[in-house]
Structure 1
Amino acid sequence: MRLPLFFVLTTVMIDAMGIGLIMPIMPNLLLEVQGGSLADAAIWGGILSTAFAVMQFLFSPVLGSLSDAVGRRPVLLVSLFVMALDYLVMALAGSLWLLLLGRIIGGTTAATHATAGAYIADISNPTEKAANFGLLGAAFGIGFVLGPLTGGLLGEIDTRAPFYAAAALAGLNFALGWFVMHETVTDDNRRAFDWRRANPFGAFRTIGRIPGIKALLWVYFLYSVAIYVYPAIWPYFTAERFGWQPQMIGASLAVYGICSALVQGGLLRYMVRWFGERGSVIWGQVFDFVAFGILAVIVSGNLALALIPIAALGALVQPALQGLMSRTVADNQQGELQGVMTAVHALSVVISPLMMTAVFAQFSDPETSHYLPGAPFLLALALMMIGCLVLLRSRSSVT
């Protein structure tokens, strides 16, 4: 069991590393491919990210349901294989349209995280689910830290080098999985594939009929939109408010990633033991309330750095909520649930940056009558509070 679990955690870490590897060089790559200005590159960068998120929203439930029918192993291995090809396409691409095609294909087959979550649900006892989902979160956090650091170093050598590195990592992990990954879907928890419930809208409808799950999905959606305030505006907010340079911005994100990994990989296990999954979600939201409220009004960069460990305690929410929902659905719906959750997250990635950057632009404009660069954190705080109220009013009997 240890090698397959290591493979699954490594898959999630490499998934996060692959994203982070290419982030530092995307502006230069887009300028290299199309020329023009940095503003033009930013527009195309947004188009590529949105295309990936939209395809992930549409197809994650399909692949989640498929993993309930044919198994976790084939879906996970095919996703890794296509991921490696996707990075190679982007490494060799000489046009924007080829880059866009690569992102569309990558988003369509982005089942690694959802299928990894379903595998964790398969091998975990009900009382261990949240803690083991925390290990997934920790693996993602480690990848989030290592990816940008490695990508920045490789990008100094060549613009395309990070893509080759990401392709090599995905390919090596595919080879490891081929030999060590065993199937956890058996006749006891297998469910026939059905297009009517595999598309995102049908999957939402089917999962939503389970008592208590619809409220929890709303909590997860509101949390995902709120927490995306960090990647959406952190570089702009810290540059505007504190005058930070890219090196300091990158270092602060790395510290946040390390603290989040420690919370999800270590502290969460004890929080669930003391307060249960529902209580851990609420405590994580409380820490987010504090962090968002302070970040909205502070003017000291040193205070923002000191606040990072408190903000990272909000990382309790996602794995605890994931464990709560996983215990609510049947064993033969774990892949479907993880696909729906991935689709919900993808939808939040489409919505949140548009909202948060628009609010930041409005309240940081030199001509605005109400200068408050931290205003997006107030919006995030309001969304998180609504989610907490929904959770407190939900009827789920799982604690």
Structure 2
Amino acid sequence: MKKARKASRDETGGLGSPSVFHATVVIFLEFFAWGLLTGPMITVLGETFSSHTLLMNGLVQGVKGFLSFLSAPLIGALSDVWGRKSFLLLSVFFTCLPIPLMKMSAGWYFAVYSLSGLFAVTFSVVFAYVADITDESERSTAYGQVSATFAASFVTSPALGAFLSAKFGDGVVVLFATCISVLDLLFILIVVPESLPERVRPASWGAPISWEQADPFQSIRKIGQDRNILRLMIIVFLSYLPEAGQYSCLFIYLTKVIGFGRQDVAMFIAIVGLLSVVAQTLLLGMLISTVGNRRCIIVGLLFQFIQLACFGMSTEPWMMWSAGCLAAFSAITYPAITALVSKNAEDDQQGAVQGIVTGIRGLCNGLGPAAFGLLFGLFHVDLTEPHDAAEARNQTVSSVREMPGASFLFGALLVFLAAVVTLFLRDAHSKQIGSASESPRKELLTKLGP
């Protein structure tokens, strides 16, 4: 069935046949642009929210994440009906829309950044795009390549951004990132071909969408029809909430508590990103072929648990470097989960199910930073004033009794619970999701008639 679909695909626009290459370039350019802004982001946060920096960052991320949670299932379902290319264009545009505003107006930047969550769900559309053009046996590797590309985009971009910022100022970095974003949009518009067959898409964009398809809570309720997918969604929530929390504050934590400079942060990101690429291309494929998706997820969660525990107890730079290496190898978890979710969904529901995964990740992008920010506040960890390296380390040592890394230890507990749930997963799949009702595309085609 899958091969027949691929053989009969009517390509619309773009250059060549749809491929994983197209998906990886889209992801690389989008996150390369944001990686350039690692340093300027820290500066803007500190200047705009001089007090309660992490708490305010958590609130901004929270609004964006909650909006993503609400919109991702709908956008995924729409892409199942109307095609992937238009929604790739839409999601990349809104994801990158805040970038030029960073130097124009901090207030507008944070406002647009928060509201961009309504459409900033590129990963769900990209993973659905990949599912359209790959067989199930290839999907884990393909998802690993996409996730590795995400990591690769951060190998050089923060260091390049730090260099340009030091030499020319943050304004040049923001302009460069804006140009990369425009390049990404042009690549989608001109080069990326449609992956969804023309014959199964309605002729008009006016085709109706039911409230049942648009309601994210209804989509999540449908997950319960397949307990394996329900467990996978719980694992996504428990593992990604601490990941979202730590990455929302890690760079500020490294600079203001551990004593890293901008160059140190850029080097940290580059090394972790490079190791993540290795993990998601070499280690992921080897593990899935030898032990299967479920055990691969357990291995990734084990790395993440140890890494978060190390972050929670680290008081010296070398400890953070060691834990960062472990974080890189925990990157195999998400592509392994996504591949297993995809294998449990029907071919014409890939956008919807990936939208649900992205929606849960979006919710974690909001709850994670808020939870970490709250825990930093409860344990009186002061991240509002800049410190040089020696002063920051002295502050950290004097704050050990207040557990500055309590947020990371909380994250380690959640990951441990995710590992427990993983023990009840099955590698086999039943593709039951949505079996109680017609799929979004079939429902629309029935309404449209022959």
Distance 1:226 1:44 in 2: 18
1:38 is paired with a residue of what secondary structure?
A: coil
Residue 111 (structure 1) aligned with residue 142 (structure 2): no
Q: How does 1:329-368 map to 2 (within 5 A)?
A: 329-363=345-379, 365=381
Inter-CA distance 295–202: structure 2 relative to 1 (3 Å threshold): same
Tell whether the 8 Å contact from 2:99 to 2:109 is kept in structure 1 after alignment: no
Distance 2:28 2:225 in 1: 33
Aligned to 1:160: 171
Offset at residue 149 of structure 1 (A):
2.5
Structure 1 residues without counterparts, runs of 5 or longer: none
Aligned to 2:187: 176
Please say which structure displays the higher CA radius of gyration. 2
- The TM-score with structure 1 as length reference comes to 0.87
The correspondence for 1:14, drawn from 22, 26, 29, is: 29
Distance 2:106 2:425 in 1: 49
The correspondence for 1:376, drawn from 391, 397, 407, is: 407
Tell whether the 8 Å contact from 1:21 to 1:162 is kept in structure 2 after alignment: yes
2:51 is paired with a residue of what secondary structure?
A: helix
Bigger mean CA deviation after superposition, 282-291 or 231-240: 231-240
Distance 1:211 1:36 in 2: 45
Distance 1:30 1:380 in 2: 23
Q: How does 1:29-44 map to 2 (within 5 A)?
A: 29=44, 38-39=50-51
Tell whether the 8 Å contact from 1:271 to 1:280 is kept in structure 2 after alignment: yes
Offset at residue 347 of structure 1 (A):
0.8
Offset at residue 187 of structure 1 (A):
6.5
Cα shift readout 1:326-367 (whole Å, capped 9, x = no counterpart): 100111111011111111111111111222233344446589
Distance 1:48 1:319 in 2: 27
Percent identical among aligned pairs is 24
Structure 2 residues without counterparts, runs of 5 or longer: 1-15, 203-207, 382-394, 431-450
Aligned to 1:74: 86
Aligned to 2:12: none
Inter-CA distance 190–336: structure 2 relative to 1 (3 Å threshold): farther
Residue 133 (structure 1) aligned with residue 151 (structure 2): no
Bigger mean CA deviation after superposition, 41-50 or 227-236: 41-50
Bigger mean CA deviation after superposition, 381-390 or 49-58: 49-58
2:404 is paired with a residue of what secondary structure?
A: coil
Q: Which one has a larger percent helix, Structure 1 or Structure 2?
A: 1
Distance 1:262 1:394 in 2: 26
Tell whether the 8 Å contact from 1:118 to 1:338 is kept in structure 2 after alignment: yes
Offset at residue 81 of structure 1 (A):
4.0
2:170 is paired with a residue of what secondary structure?
A: coil
Cα shift readout 1:137-194 (whole Å, capped 9, x = no counterpart): 1111112233322333343424333333233222222222233322222278769843
Q: How does 1:196-211 map to 2 (within 5 A)?
A: 196-211=212-227
How many pairs align?
Answer: 394
Cα shift readout 1:352-384 (whole Å, capped 9, x = no counterpart): 122223334444658979443333232122111
The correspondence for 2:154, drawn from 135, 144, 149, is: 144
Inter-CA distance 225–29: structure 2 relative to 1 (3 Å threshold): closer
Tell whether the 8 Å contact from 1:87 to 1:163 is kept in structure 2 after alignment: yes
What letter is aligned with 2:33? G
2:74 is paired with a residue of what secondary structure?
A: helix
Offset at residue 66 of structure 1 (A):
0.8
Distance 2:96 2:137 in 1: 35
Bigger mean CA deviation after superposition, 73-82 or 329-338: 73-82
Distance 1:160 1:356 in 2: 30
What letter is aligned with 1:113? F
Aligned to 1:393: 424
Inter-CA distance 127–92: structure 2 relative to 1 (3 Å threshold): same
Distance 1:276 1:330 in 2: 21
Residue 220 (structure 1) aligned with residue 220 (structure 2): no
Cα shift readout 1:200-246 (whole Å, capped 9, x = no counterpart): 21221223323421111000110101223431443455457644334
Distance 2:225 2:409 in 1: 33
Inter-CA distance 105–355: structure 2 relative to 1 (3 Å threshold): closer
What letter is aligned with 2:63? A
Bigger mean CA deviation after superposition, 9-18 or 276-285: 9-18
2:182 is paired with a residue of what secondary structure?
A: helix
2:88 is paired with a residue of what secondary structure?
A: helix
Distance 2:53 2:324 in 1: 30
Offset at residue 84 of structure 1 (A):
5.2
Offset at residue 298 of structure 1 (A):
4.2
Q: What is the aligned-residue RMSD (CA, Å)?
A: 3.1
1:228 is paired with a residue of what secondary structure?
A: helix
Tell whether the 8 Å contact from 1:284 to 1:316 is kept in structure 2 after alignment: yes
Inter-CA distance 393–256: structure 2 relative to 1 (3 Å threshold): same
The correspondence for 2:268, drawn from 249, 252, 258, is: 252
Aligned to 1:297: 313
Bigger mean CA deviation after superposition, 328-337 or 48-57: 48-57
Aligned to 1:24: 39
Inter-CA distance 243–41: structure 2 relative to 1 (3 Å threshold): closer
Tell whether the 8 Å contact from 1:213 to 1:396 is kept in structure 2 after alignment: no
Inter-CA distance 47–352: structure 2 relative to 1 (3 Å threshold): closer
